[in-house]
């Protein structure tokens, strides 16, 4: 249950906090969000970057990125569930490409079992996003 709450909190944070700020000054609407743990571990970050590179036609090194910290997650989860997380518990990473119009497509790696594509899609729609491709 706690993993599910964390996943929902991350999806909400992704939709409401990262997307609007990540694209504020960019005409190229692609951004990567890294979980704090993934970003701080170079080996894990490399695996995440390789996964995103294999799924997209973009130069991973030229994409704006945002690190989602435990503090960010705790702002939502603390008030929502009363659960707080340490910086070594924030792994979730996503690549968002909002250049696709008309529909939202979400691809979730098979190793992600807590949050579903539908949950990401719902959070994005709640934030007013009408089209894009998300790789988790």
**Tens-level pLDDT at each residue, the chain (136 residues):** 555 555 555 565 555 555 544 444 444 688 999 999 999 999 999 999 999 999 988 899 999 999 999 999 888 888 878 888 898 888 889 998 888 777 888 998 888 777 788 888 888 888 888 888 889 8
Q: What is the pLDDT of residue 19?
A: 52
Burial of 2 from C-beta contacts in 10 A (0-12 / 13-18 / 19+): exposed
- Give the Cα separation of 95 and 98 in Å (integer): 10
Q: Compute the distance between CA of residue 112 and CA of residue 110 in angstroms, rounded to an integer.
A: 5
Q: Which residues pair with 134 in a beta bridge?
A: 96, 106
Q: How far is residue 18's CA from residue 92's CA, in Å, rounded to a whole number?
A: 13
- CA atoms of 84 and 34, how far apart (whole Å): 18
pTM of the model: 0.75
């Amino acid at each position: 249950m706690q993993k599910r709450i964390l996943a929902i909190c991350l999806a909400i944070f992704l939709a409401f906090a990262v997307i609007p700020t990540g694209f504020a000054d960019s005409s190229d609407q692609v951004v990567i969000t890294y979980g704090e743990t993934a970003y701080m571990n170079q080996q894990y970050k490399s695996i995440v970057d390789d996964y995103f590179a294999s799924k997209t036609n973009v130069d991973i090194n030229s994409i704006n990125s945002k690190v989602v910290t435990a503090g960010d997650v705790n702002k939502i989860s603390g008030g929502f569930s009363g659960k707080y997380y340490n910086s070594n518990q924030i792994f979730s990473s996503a690549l968002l490409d909002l250049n696709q119009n008309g529909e939202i497509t979400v691809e979730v790696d098979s190793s992600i079992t807590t949050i579903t594509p539908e949950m990401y899609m719902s959070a994005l729609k709640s934030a007013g996003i009408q089209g894009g491709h998300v790789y988790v």
